[in-house]
Structure 1
Amino acid sequence: MTSPVPKGQPSPLIQMAQRLTLSDAHFRRICQLIYQRAGIVLAEHKRDMVYNRLVRRLRDLGLDDFGRYLGMLEADPNTSEWQAFINSLTTNLTAFFREGHHFPILADHARKRTGEYRIWCAAASTGEEPYSIAITLADVLGQTPGRWKVFASDIDTEVLQKARKGIYRLDELKTLSPQQLQRYFMRGTGPHQGLVRVRQELANYIEFNVVNLLDKQYQVPGPFDAIFCRNVMIYFDKNTQQDILHRFVPLLKPQGLLFAGHSENFSNISREFWLRGQTVYGLSKDKI
């Protein structure tokens, strides 16, 4: 039986957090390691975020020093803790039908293509984006088996786990029409009141897998009619962005589309793509 914490004294976890310090040297090592593993560039102003996220890992592991934690990572390149490290430092900001101007473009593109329409969502996060893509394709192409498929990936295993479950708060679906809500989601009842789950009929069209965009070769079922890689490149430096875009080229079918985030400009970093619309790109070789 554990002894109660004396009145007025912080809990052991709070005490641990209070005596932990993140030195300049340790912060630099963290920045180097996450860059090497995931290509993510961390600026100095991210220091508090790094501390708050990683201190939870140290608590879980019973460690009281960032140096010991980093030493543990560096001692074993295959330890499962690397994935927890990456998960902790990955930012996942997403929403249903975020940057909504892309979806009518996607619908129009899919409507004009023949054969199975295949699309890769390269930063699936917790699933809102790939499900928005799936809803768009189901609306325009129907749900005939073999007509379309979404491949969704992320480097973060925790967010992919949530994406596979497809459970969301009802208030997160405000951008959907009542018809879409009814057609593609089931409402929770009783203790699940206020929650919705993606209907299996829609989920069957999506395949979720872990993909690190730093990999020299992607284990993805391309080529694709379209690739969504939105609000990801902002975390990479220019050389990494160029490498990733170069690897996208053979994965896009002729006249395929690449969708970028609102603050991303691929025209400045790659001659292999040209701007076709608002943050929508095509292959330069298709333009000739």
Structure 2
Amino acid sequence: MCGIVGLFLKNPKLEPQLGTLLADMLKTMTDRGPDSAGFAVYGSDGTGVKLTLRGPDAKTLAGAVSGLEAALGGVVGATARDTHTVIALEADQETAARDWLSANAPGIDVVSAGKRMEIYKETGLPENVAKRFDLSKMTGTHGIGHTRMATESAVTTNGAHPFSTGLDECLVHNGSLSNHNDMRRRLQHEGITFATKNDTEVAAGYLSWRMREGASLKDALESSLTDLDGFFTFVVGTETGFAVVRDPIACKPAVMAETDDYVAFGSEYRALIGLPGIDKARVFEPEPARVYAWERQTGERH
């Protein structure tokens, strides 16, 4: 049992409130996942790439970031938040940065990469995780979050969601995949790499692979209904989009709300009750085996 939340803002006037709204939604899902939590926020556009780095502690991470800056001859910017630091790079610096970290900074993980996306996750109560990273102060167009109750693996930061295996792409998942080991091997042959044995990382890798091959987010999610076996609810973020899909059985709880200002997802309705105008929203349960997707440019559903 885990908790999922997601918020896609259609109205730019709400963007300064994204972090505050998402933090409240995440906190509400605590009893569905009290052992760890994580979230992805899509903030301002960047011209290069942002890498979100995670270390065992703030001091160790700060030392690694200093070494990386020296090796690269400087970076565009770095923002430290507890055990994570977001470094902004020129696009042509990314490969060199990853190579230096791999060779010189054991224990420092690249959590995510993208022009707009930042991912933060840690063990502990969701409310505390949100406070550690100052989620309430973050702004942006959309974000997704996850509270985890580890039933099939240890309680670790690496096991927390969201998972990302592509630029500005990430996924949170409630459920369990039965064919993730076979799919992991297939994706590894396609050049997708994995940092954990978590089935959710396989789902993220699958979507990244399909989109890398030219599929739209909607098409990739539709094909996941055939290629990924098990029971699941996925909430997905990309640089411009937000999407939800449930497996054909749809045994995991899910509820959505849509207004002219936003689209929201929660594992339970109570995660949505603090949103502005929720009393006037169209509230509905997403149908099994149907993809719901919205794009940032238009705010329209597909």
TM exceeding 0.5: no
Report which structure shows greater RCO (CA 8 Å, sep ≥6): 2
User: Of the two, which has the highest radius of gyration?
Assistant: 1
Indicate the TM-score class for this superposition, using the shorter chain for normalisation.
under 0.3
Q: Which has more helix, going by share of residues?
A: 1
Q: Which has more strand, going by share of residues?
A: 2
